[in-house]
Amino acid sequence: MQAKPSTVPAEPYPFDLRPAECGLLIIDMQRDFLEPGGFGEMLGNDVSQLRRTIEPNRRLLAAWRAAGLAAMHTREGHRPDLSDLPPSKKVRGRPKTSIGDMGPMGRILVRGEAGHDIIPELYPAAGEPVIDKPGKGAFHATDLQSILQNRGINQLIVTGVTTEVCVNTTIREANDRGYDCFVPEDCVGSYFPEFQDMGLRMIKAQGGIFGWVGSSADIVAAIGKG
Ligand code: C5J
């Protein structure tokens, strides 16, 4: 039996979850961002700030799947010929090693390379769409909106990394397209604690200007698979 609609504790006010119309969208839980020895760590980032989100995401995804609900995954990356890589993105920050160059787990942010793939703990199951996105937002230059419309989805639980970049950009894009977004704070991560805090505060400010913030345990309890 499908999980029933319910009200989930959240800020700035409770979220009316309608499981049959809600998709779990897991953003960019890719090896190069999260794994020790990957590109993120090579740049000097503390990957433990992102890795703490793996277990809550794993529990939420397991419960979501057990309830028979729609889950989707994204990966940030580019075609091997880099034809979809804006020159501005390639050179931004004037890095020594940039997108398309060889990194510790293959060519950086290139589709098909080991580092571009999703971490094994959250690997997509058969039938779960994987949206390959060239930008920060999951709607830009992808078929995500068609997938959601075809499945009758008008709410999103958005998780993944990083809170202030791809998670926030995707939530803003979704919000402008009429989707209600709930962000479980234990399931999103930033390399920078201050951006984690501000990234979440910006979502729920001004009456939930971009969406709601709560916890994954409350979603799991609401769908009855805890
Ligand atoms: C994501 C990034 N996924 N920070 N990418 O947030 O470049």
If one residue of 29, 33, 43, 188 were mutated to test the ligand 1 pocket, choosing by the most ligand atoms within 8 A of its CB, it would be 33
Query: Is 209 in contact with 70 (CB distance < 8 Å)?
Result: no
| Residue-level pLDDT at 2 | 76
The domain spans of the chain are 6-223
Q: Which residues line ligand 1 (CB under 6 A)?
A: 28, 76, 161-162, 165-166
The CA dihedral of 80, 85, 87, 92, to the nearest 10 degrees, is: -100
Which residue numbers are catalytic? 28, 133, 166
| Residue-level pLDDT at 175 | 98
If one residue of 116, 140, 166 were mutated to test the ligand 1 pocket, choosing by the most ligand atoms within 8 A of its CB, it would be 166
| Residue-level pLDDT at 1 | 62
Structure tokens at 67: 């309830």
- Phi and psi of 189, rounded to 5°? -145, 155
Structure tokens at 151: 């499945």
Cα of 200 from ligand 1 centre, angstroms: 16
From start to end of 47-129, where are the E strands? 70-76, 102-103, 106-107
Q: Which of 27, 54, 9 is nearest to 213 (CA)?
A: 9
| Residue-level pLDDT at 225 | 57
**Measuring from atom 5 of ligand 1, which residue has the nearest CA?**
166
Cα of 171 from ligand 1 centre, angstroms: 14
Q: Which amino acid is at 121?
A: E
Q: Which amino acid is at 98?
A: S
CATH no. for 6-223: 3.40.50.850
- Range 200-209, long-range pairs (CB < 8 A, 24+ positions): 200/163, 202/168, 203/168, 203/171, 204/10, 204/11, 204/12, 205/12, 207/12, 208/11, 208/12, 208/13, 209/175
| Residue-level pLDDT at 55 | 98
The phi-psi region of residue 167 (left if phi > 0; otherwise alpha if psi is between -120 and 50; otherwise beta) is alpha
| Residue-level pLDDT at 16 | 98
Whole-angstrom CA distances from 19 to 54, 67, 214 are: 22, 9, 16
Which atom of ligand 1 sits closest to the CA of residue 166?
Answer: 6
Q: Which residues of 39-63 are buried (b: 16+ CB within 10 A; e: fewer)?
A: bbbeeebebebbbebbebbebbbeb
Task: Tell me the pLDDT of the chain (226 aa) as tens digits.
Answer: 678 999 999 999 999 999 999 999 999 999 999 999 999 999 999 999 999 999 999 999 999 999 999 999 999 999 999 999 999 999 999 999 999 999 999 999 999 999 999 999 999 999 999 999 999 999 999 999 999 999 999 999 999 999 999 999 999 999 999 999 999 999 999 999 999 999 999 999 999 999 999 999 999 999 985 4
Q: Which residues contact 80 (CB under 8 A, 6 or more apart)?
A: 107, 110, 111, 112
